Amino acid sequence: MVKILLILLLLFLTCNMNLDAQWEKANGGKELPDSTAINAVVAFADTIVVATSKGIYFSANNGDDWSQKNNGLDNPSGIIILSHNNGRVFAGTDNGLYVSPDNCNSWSSGSVDMSSDMVYSFAVKGNNIFAGTSNGFYLSSDNGNSWTLKNNGLNQDDPTINALSIQGSNIFAATTDGVYATTNNGDSWSNKNFTNEITRIYVSNTAIFISGEGYHSGIYVSIDNGYTWIDKNNGLDNSKDMHYTFISVGDSVFAGGTRTGIYLTTNNGDTWVPANDGLSSYSQSFELSFAYNDKYIFTGSKGDGGFCTLWRLPRNVTKASDDESNNESITLYPNPTVSLLNVSFDLPVDGYVSLCVFDELGNVILSVPGELKNKGENNFVINTESFLEGIFFMKINEPGKTILKKFIVIK
């Protein structure tokens, strides 16, 4: 039993976190229209603000109801990024900054200095708000009333900042010239040993995640404050153009913006597994936006597929049983197996089912993304011809629960 408990711990450190629900649409009965490209999303309390190809939509109840709020916006479809601080919503656009002090009922230009800039990113630390733009880095220490440009140390030929993220006293910037950091709110910047163009950066509790385009389109991770970087793409499909976006909830980091959906890691990117259960389509999920509050994780995309609406995922996690043998609803046969393993299970309701296979060390051997299965008897067939001889564990995610089963491969 001690060995089983240790394996269970490894599984939760290396595999798909099973959420006790699936992704669901948060478009309020199509008050937020389907096929509307999602440019940005911000969440605070139960309020969700979404920037779309049709402008701003506002929900005060986590996406159950929506209203359109574009009053004062010169180009509602040109919003790139959203943020919130101390009762104000900030919208970065392709022609400067806009601010709303009244739950998006009215908008006004927020900075003369940024009126001709493209605003790509925001970050908030205490009373300070930071903006990454096509003209570099701006700081406001008065909740957006005034802004100061701070580019000392950045590439003066092209100071564009694509994304910002904060870790303690460090502010990290993804730029056309690599990763830069400041410890003094932008008074001075230094490059963090990565000099290729970076489009996204995100700081989790334990690591820094970055991604770029072209040769550096994968994910790179630093666990030493940016001094060294390691590519961490195990389990990702990097066969097509990637535009990764990140968000973390606890120790779990989600990566979206691929053409094969959303991925999840719980071990700083050592392994990634799909996290698409409930999504109707993710073939065009590029340029993804994430946000979360105490109840939900939200996501949406500029793509042409099923992500062109807002999705939400409840933030409650189902725990696995510590007994891998006492579940009659799932049968593995033949067990031991030589080449083919049948996974037979009975579902009480229609739902998505996914599975992961691990060896005794907790290494991911196989990951099957969520498939929609009908109520009643169902099965998967696993080809084990490439497996080494030994003991393996299968983690099966069903609607509302996670089950662990053991099987043996013989040669």
Residue 330 lies in a domain: yes
Verify that 252 and 330 share a domain, yes or no: no
DSSP, collapsed to helix, strand or coil, labels residue 216 as: helix
Any domain includes 145: yes
- Does the residue 186 lie in any domain? yes
CATH number at residue 60: 2.130.10.10
Backbone angles phi, psi at 195, to 5 degrees: -110, 5
Domain check: are 108 and 184 in the same one?
A: yes
Q: Are residues 61 and 135 in the same domain?
A: yes
- The number of domains in the chain is 2
Please report whether residue 177 resides in a domain.
Answer: yes
Decide: 104 and 125 in contact? Cβ < 8 Å: no
pLDDT band at 99 (very low <50, low <70, confident <90, very high): very high
Same domain, 80 and 164: yes
On whether both 166 and 296 belong to a single domain, the answer is: yes
- pLDDT at res. 363: 74
Average pLDDT over residues 246-254: 82
Domain span at 339: 2-9+319-409
355: three-class secondary structure by DSSP: strand
Interval 36-40 mean pLDDT = 85
Q: Is a pLDDT exceeding 60 seen at residue 406?
A: yes
**Chosen domain end from 296, 314, 332:** 314
Q: Cα–Cα distance between 74 and 76 in angstroms, integer?
A: 6
Helix (H) or strand (E) holding 5: helix 2-14
Confidence (pLDDT) at 239:
47
Cα-Cα end-to-end distance for the chain = 26
Q: What confidence tens digit (pLDDT) does each residue in 322-369 have?
A: 344 445 578 899 989 989 999 998 888 777 788 888 887 767 788 887
Q: Are residues 105 and 191 in the same domain?
A: yes
Distance (Å) of CA 182 to CA 107, 168, 173, 261: 31, 11, 9, 33
- Integer Cα distance of 352 and 19 in angstroms: 12
Q: How many helices (H) and strands (E) does the chain have?
A: 1, 35
Mean pLDDT of the chain: 82
| For residue 80, pLDDT beyond 70 | yes
Domain co-membership, 395 together with 339: yes
The whole-model pTM stands at 0.72
Statement to judge: residues 263 and 389 lie in one domain:
no
Last residue of a domain, one of 294, 314, 334: 314
pLDDT computed for residue 28 by the predictor: 76
Tell me: pLDDT of 32 over 60: yes
pLDDT value at residue 21? 57
* Ranges 73-77, 126-130, 234-238: which has the least confidence: 234-238
CA distance linking residue 18 with residue 367, whole number of Å: 13
- What is the DSSP code (8-state) at residue 317? B
- Say if 14 falls within a structural domain: no
Give the pLDDT of residue 122. Answer: 95
End-of-domain residue from the set 273, 299, 314:
314
Are residues 393 and 364 in contact, defined by beta-carbon separation less than 8 angstroms? no
CATH number for the domain harbouring residue 339:
2.60.40.10
